[in-house]
């Protein structure tokens, strides 16, 4: 293996209380592509800044090859003092670097270089910062959430660019598919320490579950051993004659290990507050248009969204996703056409700008709107501290000002406020930004299992595939088309993925041919269900019950002998919907049966 360009070892850092980093390690050799993953607030960004030389650790060794160049992409780029984007990007070049590289990157990132920093959107600022750090083709590239605020076409281009760069890349991202396609190794930062897996992120979750299960098993064994040793000291014949000081010392050491063990971080609990059931028809749009001057954003778009649908809106930044979303929810009137909203709608909205929050406001005051110490969630009164714990906030944070939260904590706080409001229609604009993997998993399960209707805007392809039942995408000239299924289904219906998507996938497959050619070592049987399997096993009966009720309603409608005569078109749609629901029910029952058999086999 090539000598490392960067090596961090035994890194320790604390800001008082529990250490943020406690013996963490991180290394990268030329050309390595490494995912740095962990909970929000676990210290990932701090470790990346230590690697970049921006923060000094309190203890540990930091080594960088003296000749190696390092570039760091921050979450919030600072562009003060630059007249335009070109000046900002070219300031990152060294004396021997090619200035044409900066132009090439700006063009592919949709920038002219003449944009003024103060006029940039969040996505444009992120693209300018990417061009700045990538232009010198550094030896070490450190990227903190590079896909935030980027549209899908730019994310796919970035995947291809990073796959072929010779730089060592260490990146933090919440975008699963991006990590799966770019990375070849994974470093997990957990409770101040790091573990390394020499495989890409696609293998991370299974490995993480195994590590946590082994840790739980070892801690249980240690507890049993302590009990045996204490019994020996109290009742053993030898112990009554004279104390074995060595054995007593070992027991004290074991007790200290047991007490000081930091268990795995808690899991967020996300439950949306249910409102009364909406009408069957939620939104009906007929031939709606919207233009701004000479720019046509929406032209002749029609759709029917019914209760239980989960609709995703995708497209490049500036395509008009937010405009279309506002028209569908009645916030913005169309220039032509009509939008009809169903009856009894209760809408909860998480907008892209995350609504204005006073940075001086405390978490408790924000969640309760300043109405004391309690709030009502799902019809039950909850103390604000208890509700905060569901979203992984500590009790002492109740009086913490919002300004002190990390990006991930702020995202969780806003979700907590939105989900506390009774709703049967969730409108989520970029809900995945800044969420850690575990919280993102729970948000996926919440959206997929929500009894009402969901409309969401997202650039996260994996999130779309796991949650939505249809995708609305632009087709040029203000035209929008609705496709059944998730993002991958949309690509298939369009005749295949984008060129960059195909290239990135082919590079991924080519790089893994060698590892796939060797037969994998047989795995031993799992000891228990993974977290995701347990969650699915709990959720599936509810889904089956809901689909069964839907089938019953559809069958009752068809049983009406006058239905066909009154409305033949609706009759045919009902037949098609019934077939679809029966197919869904069969798939859910098969999935439940497989999981139930697996559970019985493991417990047996």
Mind listing the pLDDT tens digit for each residue in 34-59? Answer: 999 988 778 899 999 999 999 999 99
Residue 555 in this model has a pLDDT that exceeds 70:
yes
Residue 56: what pLDDT? 94
Eight-class DSSP state of 277: P
Q: Is the CB of residue 201 less than 8 Å from the CB of residue 35?
A: yes
Per-residue confidence band for 515, with pLDDT thresholds at 50, 70 and 90 = very low
How do strand 193-197 and strand 185-190 relate by DSSP bridges?
antiparallel
If you write DSSP's letter for every residue of 186-236 in order, what string do you get? EEEEETTEEEEESS-GGGHHHHHHHHHHHHHHHHHHHHHHHHHHHHHHHH-
* Cα-only R_g, the chain: 27
**Once rounded to an integer, what is the mean pLDDT over residues 95-113?**
91
Percent of the chain with pLDDT over 90: 34
Residue 265: what pLDDT? 55
Residue 232: what pLDDT? 60
Per-residue confidence band for 539, with pLDDT thresholds at 50, 70 and 90 = confident
What's the rounded Cα separation, in Å, for the pair 345 and 330? 11
Eight-class DSSP state of 42: S
Q: 257 vs 11, which has greater pLDDT?
A: 11
Q: Which CATH superfamily is domain 6-206 in?
A: P-loop containing nucleotide triphosphate hydrolases (3.40.50.300)
Q: How remote is the C-alpha of 390 from its chain's centroid?
A: 18
483-516: string of b/e by CB count within 10 Å (b at 16+)? bebbbebbbeeeeebeebbebbeebbeeeeeeee
| Residue 372: C-alpha distances to residues 23, 365, 368, 375, 503 (Å) | 42, 8, 7, 8, 56
| Residue 539: C-alpha distances to residues 53, 274, 431, 543 (Å) | 46, 16, 22, 6
What's the rounded Cα separation, in Å, for the pair 511 and 163? 10
Per-residue confidence band for 11, with pLDDT thresholds at 50, 70 and 90 = very high
**Once rounded to an integer, what is the mean pLDDT over residues 213-228?**
74
Q: 524 vs 556, which has greater pLDDT?
A: 556
Task: Give alpha helix (H) positions in 59-171.
Answer: 85-90, 99-108, 122-134, 152-164
Residue 65: what pLDDT? 93
**Once rounded to an integer, what is the mean pLDDT over residues 587-594?**
77
Residue 473: strand pairing partners: 481
Q: 227 vs 20, which has greater pLDDT?
A: 20
Residue 240: what pLDDT? 42
Residue 255: what pLDDT? 61
Q: 268 vs 83, which has greater pLDDT?
A: 83
Mean pLDDT check: name the lowest of 62-71, 267-276, 509-518, 585-594.
509-518
How do strand 21-28 and strand 6-13 relate by DSSP bridges?
antiparallel
Q: Is the CB of residue 7 less than 8 Å from the CB of residue 61?
A: yes
Residue 63: strand pairing partners: 7
Q: 319 vs 196, which has greater pLDDT?
A: 196
Q: In what order do the strands lie in the sheet with 347-350?
A: 347-350, 425-429, 453-457, 310-313, 470-474, 480-484
Residue 356: what pLDDT? 60
Axis crossing angle, helix 122-134 with helix 99-108, rounded to the nearest 10: 150
Q: Is the CB of residue 505 less than 8 Å from the CB of residue 181?
A: yes
Q: 267 vs 163, which has greater pLDDT?
A: 163
Q: How buried is residue 370: exposed, middle or buried, by Cβ count under 10 Å (0-12/13-18/19+)? A: exposed
Residue 303: strand pairing partners: 285
Condensed to tens digits (0 to 9), the pLDDT of residues 387-430 reads 888 887 888 888 888 888 777 777 788 888 888 888 889 898 88
**Once rounded to an integer, what is the mean pLDDT over residues 177-197?**
93
Q: What is the CATH number of domain 281-444+455-514?
A: 3.40.50.300
Condensed to tens digits (0 to 9), the pLDDT of residues 234-261 reads 555 454 444 555 655 665 676 666 565 5
E-state strands within 203-335: 281-292, 295-306, 310-313
Per-residue confidence band for 114, with pLDDT thresholds at 50, 70 and 90 = very high
What's the rounded Cα separation, in Å, for the pair 419 and 376? 11
Residue 260: what pLDDT? 59
Residue 561 in this model has a pLDDT that exceeds 90:
no
Residue 144: its H or E element = strand 140-144
Supply the mean pLDDT for the chain.
Answer: 82
What's the rounded Cα separation, in Å, for the pair 35 and 420? 33
* Most distant pair of Cα atoms in the chain: their distance: 98
**Once rounded to an integer, what is the mean pLDDT over residues 528-534?**
68
How do strand 168-172 and strand 140-144 relate by DSSP bridges?
parallel
CATH topology of domain 531-603: Helix Hairpins (1.10.287)
Q: Is the CB of residue 332 less than 8 Å from the CB of residue 320?
A: no
Residue 224 in this model has a pLDDT that exceeds 80:
no
Q: Taking Cα atoms as reference points, which of 303, 291, 346, 348 lies closest to residue 328?
A: 303
Q: Is the CB of residue 475 less than 8 Å from the CB of residue 316?
A: no
**Once rounded to an integer, what is the mean pLDDT over residues 58-80?**
91
Axis crossing angle, helix 568-603 with helix 531-559, rounded to the nearest 10: 150
Percent of the chain with pLDDT over 70: 83
Residue 182 in this model has a pLDDT that exceeds 70:
yes
Q: 603 vs 335, which has greater pLDDT?
A: 335
User: In this structure, how many other beta carbons lie within 10 angstroms of the beta carbon of residue 134?
Assistant: 26
203-237: string of b/e by CB count within 10 Å (b at 16+)? ebbeebbeeeeeeeeeeeeeeeeeeebeeebeeee
Q: Taking Cα atoms as reference points, which of 72, 64, 44, 70 lies closest to residue 4?
A: 64
Positive or negative, the CA dihedral 571, 572, 573, 574 is positive
Condensed to tens digits (0 to 9), the pLDDT of residues 435-481 reads 777 778 778 887 888 888 999 998 889 889 988 999 999 988 899 99
Q: Find the Cα–Cα–Cα–Cα dihedral 119, 124, 125, 126, rounded to 10°.
A: 170
């Amino acid at each position: 293996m090539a000598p490392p360009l960067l090596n961090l070892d035994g890194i320790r850092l604390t800001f008082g209380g529990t250490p943020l980093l406690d013996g963490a390690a991180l290394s990268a050799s030329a050309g390595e592509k490494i995912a740095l993953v962990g909970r929000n607030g676990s210290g990932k960004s701090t470790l990346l800044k230590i690697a970049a030389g921006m923060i000094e650790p309190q203890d540990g060794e930091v080594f960088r090859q003296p000749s190696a160049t390092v570039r760091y992409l921050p979450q919030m780029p600072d562009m003060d003092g630059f007249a335009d984007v070109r000046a900002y990007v070219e300031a990152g070049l060294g004396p021997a670097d090619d200035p044409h590289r900066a132009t090439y990157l700006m063009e592919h990132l949709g920038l002219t270089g003449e944009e003024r920093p103060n006029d940039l959107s969040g996505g444009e600022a992120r693209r300018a910062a990417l061009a700045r750090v990538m232009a010198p083709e550094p030896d070490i590239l450190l990227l903190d959430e590079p896909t935030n605020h980027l549209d899908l076409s730019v994310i796919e281009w970035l995947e291809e660019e990073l796959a072929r760069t010779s730089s060592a890349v260490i990146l933090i991202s919440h975008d699963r598919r991006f990590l799966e396609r770019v990375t070849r190794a994974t470093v997990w930062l957990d409770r101040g320490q790091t573990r390394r897996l020499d495989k890409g992120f696609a293998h991370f979750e299974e490995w993480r579950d195994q590590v946590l299960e082994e840790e739980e098993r070892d801690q249980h064994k240690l507890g049993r051993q302590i009990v045996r040793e204490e019994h020996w000291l109290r009742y053993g014949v030898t112990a009554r004659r004279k104390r074995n000081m060595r054995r007593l010392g070992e027991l004290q050491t074991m007790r200290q290990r047991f007490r000081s063990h930091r268990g795995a971080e808690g899991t967020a609990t996300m439950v949306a507050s249910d409102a009364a059931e909406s009408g069957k028809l939620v939104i009906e749009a007929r031939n709606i248009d919207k233009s701004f001057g000479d720019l046509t954003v929406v032209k002749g778009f029609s759709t029917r969204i019914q209760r239980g649908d989960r609709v995703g809106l995708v497209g490049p930044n500036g395509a008009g996703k937010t405009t279309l979303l506002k028209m569908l929810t009645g916030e913005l009137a169309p220039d032509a056409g009509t939008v009809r909203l169903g009856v009894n709608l209760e809408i909860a909205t998480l907008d892209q700008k995350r609504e204005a929050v006073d940075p001086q406001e405390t978490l408790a005051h924000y969640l309760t709107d300043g109405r004391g110490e309690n709030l009502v969630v799902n019809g039950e009164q909850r103390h604000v501290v208890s509700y905060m714990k569901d979203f992984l906030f500590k009790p002492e944070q109740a009086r913490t000002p919002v300004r002190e939260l990390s990006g991930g904590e702020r995202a969780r706080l806003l979700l907590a406020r939105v989900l506390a409001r009774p709703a049967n229609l969730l409108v989520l604009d970029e809900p995945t930004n800044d969420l850690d993997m575990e919280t993102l998993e729970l948000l996926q399960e919440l959206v997929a299992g929500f009894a009402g209707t969901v409309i969401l805007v997202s650039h996260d392809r994996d999130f779309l595939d796991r949650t939505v039942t249809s995708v609305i995408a632009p087709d040029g000239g203000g035209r929008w088309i609705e496709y059944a299924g998730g993002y991958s289904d949309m690509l298939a219906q369009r005749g295949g993925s984008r060129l960059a998507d195909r290239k990135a996938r082919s590079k991924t497959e080519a790089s893994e041919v060698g590892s796939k050619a060797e037969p994998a070592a047989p795995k031993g049987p799992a000891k228990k269900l993974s977290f995701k399997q347990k969650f699915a096993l709990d959720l599936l009966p509810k889904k089956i019950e809901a689909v069964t009720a839907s089938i019953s309603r559809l069958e009752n409608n068809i049983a009406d002998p006058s239905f066909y005569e009154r409305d033949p078109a609706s009759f045919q749609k009902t037949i098609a919907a019934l077939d679809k629901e029966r197919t869904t029910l069969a798939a859910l029952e098969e999935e439940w049966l497989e999981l139930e058999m697996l559970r019985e086999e493991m417990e047996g």
